Copies of this chain bind each other. A is one copy, B any other.
Amino acid sequence: MENKKTEYDNATKVCRHNIRAIHDTMDVIGGKWKISIISCLCFETMRYSELLKEIEGISGKMLSRELKDLEINGLVMRTVSNTNPISVVYELTEYGETLKDLTLTIANWGNAHREKIISEYN
């Protein structure tokens, strides 16, 4: 009886701990487009205009806003070239690269999910 209760309390504790951790993660990458942006930058540095083309449906306003958030959180680095006209490239910082696994896990589940839906449809 006592053991059962302890077990339950432990599960509760781990659960709460995880919820807080998930919340922390989502504060950083929870925007509508953030993970997509990070996923793009996993492969190469990209210019603002390239990201705009690559990420279907995003508006310029949202792209700059999300990039700024990511920059503030130290995940993305912004570099301006003083050419004329100027060009701005974005790349993952070392810290941003720690998100590669996470984006891959999310992408993999999405692919599996899509396959499941398609196979159910047939």
**Interface residues, chain A, with chain B CB atoms under 8 Å away:** 8, 11-12, 14-26, 28, 35-36, 39-40, 42-44, 54-56, 95, 98-99, 101-114, 116
Closest B residue to A36 using CB positions: B19
User: 14 pairs across A/B with beta carbons < 8 Å?
Assistant: A12-B54, A14-B43, A15-B39, A18-B39, A18-B103, A19-B55, A22-B106, A23-B110, A25-B106, A25-B107, A26-B35, A26-B106, A99-B109, A102-B105
In the bound complex, residues from chain B placing their C-beta under 8 Å from that of A55 are 19
Tell me if B110 and A25 are in contact (CB < 8 A). Answer: yes
Bound CA span A19–B35, Å: 8
In the bound complex, residues from chain B placing their C-beta under 8 Å from that of A95 are 116
From the candidates B101, B114, B116, name the one contacting A21 in the complex (CB within 8 A).
Answer: B114
Tell me if B28 and A113 are in contact (CB < 8 A). Answer: yes
In the bound complex, residues from chain B placing their C-beta under 8 Å from that of A54 are 12, 15-16, 19
